[in-house]
Structure 1
């Protein structure tokens, strides 16, 4: 017989596995469109995060996503080369840099989101479950030690 804590642990493990699988599927699915530049999975995560946090500093981006600063610099440089982000001097601190999406990136995100809605809407049958799942995932993200990717 499984006691309550074992059953809860099994559900939490299953949730983590499913989050991983679904996240991977979403990160791999890029709609075919001439305006969408091919991006790596990490570039896609950066794109979404910068979209939610316009003007973010590279150091904040590194901390929020748990990526080494040298890797953040490499990814941002690649995204700049693709015309997806622009770095500007921080108006409040001339030593700092802020990162913003370009119009091209914003259009790409809109197309990607439209595609995700089209795919997921056919798989999600009830809005109550959708709301509950969204609240649960936001609570997990917000409560993650040292990192939160939710909008500030």
Structure 2
């Protein structure tokens, strides 16, 4: 397992210990995030990410991603493929062999008509991708735990009126 910082992504959303087992063997890991690492998909941008590169600078080994959207639970927002299993994460969640995703409703009446915020975009899709993770029950368990943690974090950090 590569050497990882104690806390990873957006002020320590994940620990190196929790993400490490999902990464390939390697000596060094490189973390990449936007220049402003604030977790935000409503005010300054519509999406954000946290990437960890281990074996290549061209392909991330781990990706945590969030994007504001206009559709949510029950609308076919999940585009990750037919091998997904439904899980209890956010308002609707899925896990598969190398990733997990969830969608949350995030009502932000405080943003009203601010530029850049479309009133119909009140859902946030969250995804975790671990392309090099072993296809095992333990990987799916880890991804399920992490996506639940991510959904709780997103509701709190985005200040959703309907949040945790």
Give the TM-score, by structure 2 length: 0.28
User: Comparing both structures, which one devotes a greater share of its residues to strand?
Assistant: 2
User: Comparing both structures, which one devotes a greater share of its residues to helix?
Assistant: 1
Higher-Rg member (1/2): 1
Give the TM-score, by structure 1 length: 0.30
